[in-house]
Amino acid sequence: MRSDEPRRGADHNVMREVNRSLVLALVKEGGPVSRASIARSTTLAKPTVSAIVDELIADGLVREIGPGSTAVSGGRPPILLEFNARSQLVVGVHIGARRTTIAIGDAAGEEVARREFPTPRPAGPEAVLRLVADEVRAAIDGAGLPGAKIAAVGAVLPGLTDFHAGVCLLAPNLGWRDVPVRDVLAAELGAPVYVHNAGQAAAVAENLEGAGERAGDLALLYAGTGLSAGVLSDGRVFHGVGGTAGEIGHNAVPGIEEPCNCGNVGCLETVASGPAIVRAAQRALADGEPSALAELDGFDARDVAAAAQAGDRVAGRVIADVGEHLGLAASWLINAYNPALVVVGGGLAAIGDLLLDPLRAAAARHSLAPALRGVEIRASVLGPDAEVRGAVLLALQHSETYYRVVFRA
């Protein structure tokens, strides 16, 4: 059966969608190509290919770039087609607790503009989102692309998000609760908006452009002010039915008795996060343990990490303890999802081996041997860029109808 055999109703529409994304993917990834070679690779009939190509040209996604140098049959050289990356834009927005970053990507995800500014607080969510929309428009104008079509917006937030509803459920560091980010930004920017949390965005970015090396099945442990995970299956974020999958920082661990931001007691996050580092160091000082930290006028997790790097034993032990707890979280990801690799992202990843060595050891201790086999645990390579790059890449992913397509050689 030929794949372009006419179908009726919904089936027919699905086939048209599939064929269109097949042709677009071929031009995008294999271009420049001719209509004839598209027909050969896809086994679609030539008139079907021509009709789809005409439509893609009319939409501005594909353009003709003139004849190729040789014709297979010795006849007229075929007209070659290429993907028009400037045909539309994707927008990535990362609203961080301290700073907000906006990145504008072309239709291939290549960045054409970026803006960064302090997240205005305590302005309230409406004012922040309006400012984000203004800055997006300004960035597009600044790049010399006024009026360009926005295909999709990826919005990334530091907290609990519901992807399906497009809502930021809870972001304690922003003071946000139940904010309809998708609806507000979509109304402002006139484009579909996809809302994710920072761990999910970092996972996508590390997979495509960072430590993940396109592993596809990747788990990212996002350790910063809080602790969560972004889990990818075949490169796509696993959301769960309510959109909250991956919140492993709120798994309770017997023996831990700290109260958590979420209202529960004993969540792993309370002993495996930036604030956990500060609390543990403060406790050690209160117990009279000797540490260079005692001479500082207040300190944050970064100061504790710096003291540990400089050889401070108390700081070193605090970092190692948090590393062990993160290793326990890594073992949960390894046992539950059997990923090709685990990437450690978020602010704590920058601490390096002082954190990662105990993390790896604990992960190995707690993981099932068959699940652990071949799994590497690596630090983020994108660092603080991961969230906004993830926002751009998620916008790109969602702007394309996704089919897993395997071309014939």
Cα torsion 17, 400, 27, 88 to 10°: value is: 120
Minimum distance, C-beta of residue 203 to Zn ion, in the bound complex (Å): 21
Spatial distance between the Cα atoms of 212 and 381, rounded to a whole number of angstroms: 9
Alpha carbon distances (Å) from 180 to 164, 169, 186, 251, 253: 11, 9, 10, 26, 32
Interface with Zn ion includes 267 (CB under 5 A)? yes
Contacts to Zn ion from residues 122-181, by CB under 5 A: none
The residue (of 174 and 392) whose beta carbon lies closer to Zn ion is 174
Bridge pairing between strands 79-83 and 33-34: antiparallel
The residue (of 260 and 304) whose beta carbon lies closer to Zn ion is 260
Do 247 and 241 contact (CB within 8 A), yes or no?
Answer: no
Residue span binding Zn ion (CB under 5 A) among the ranges 81-89, 204-212, 259-267, 314-322: 259-267
The residue (of 103 and 260) whose beta carbon lies closer to Zn ion is 260
Minimum distance, C-beta of residue 244 to Zn ion, in the bound complex (Å): 12
Minimum distance, C-beta of residue 249 to Zn ion, in the bound complex (Å): 7
The residue (of 194 and 222) whose beta carbon lies closer to Zn ion is 222
| Token pair 């079509």 in the structure block, residue | 149
Interface with Zn ion includes 264 (CB under 5 A)? yes
Q: Quick one: how many helices (H) and strands (E) in the chain? A: 12, 16
Minimum distance, C-beta of residue 263 to Zn ion, in the bound complex (Å): 7
Minimum distance, C-beta of residue 265 to Zn ion, in the bound complex (Å): 8
Residue span binding Zn ion (CB under 5 A) among the ranges 43-51, 267-275, 285-293, 345-353: 267-275
What is the Cβ-side half-sphere exposure of residue 396, based on CA atoms within 13 angstroms? 23
For 331, other C-beta atoms within 10 Å of its C-beta total 20
The residue (of 115 and 279) whose beta carbon lies closer to Zn ion is 279
The residue (of 187 and 265) whose beta carbon lies closer to Zn ion is 265
Interface with Zn ion includes 262 (CB under 5 A)? yes
Give the type of residue at 162.
D
Minimum distance, C-beta of residue 159 to Zn ion, in the bound complex (Å): 12
Spatial distance between the Cα atoms of 16 and 29, rounded to a whole number of angstroms: 20
For 263, other C-beta atoms within 10 Å of its C-beta total 8
Q: What are the beta bridge partners of residue 101?
A: 94, 116
Minimum distance, C-beta of residue 186 to Zn ion, in the bound complex (Å): 31
Minimum distance, C-beta of residue 239 to Zn ion, in the bound complex (Å): 20
Spatial distance between the Cα atoms of 360 and 154, rounded to a whole number of angstroms: 32
Query: x-or-dash pattern for Zn ion, window 229-258, by CB under 5 A?
Result: ---------------------x--------
The residue (of 123 and 252) whose beta carbon lies closer to Zn ion is 252
Site residue total, Zn ion (CB under 5 A): 5
Cis bond leading into 32, ω under 30°? yes
The residue (of 38 and 322) whose beta carbon lies closer to Zn ion is 322
Do 30 and 74 contact (CB within 8 A), yes or no?
Answer: no
Write out the residues near Zn ion by the rule CB under 5 A: 250, 260, 262, 264, 267
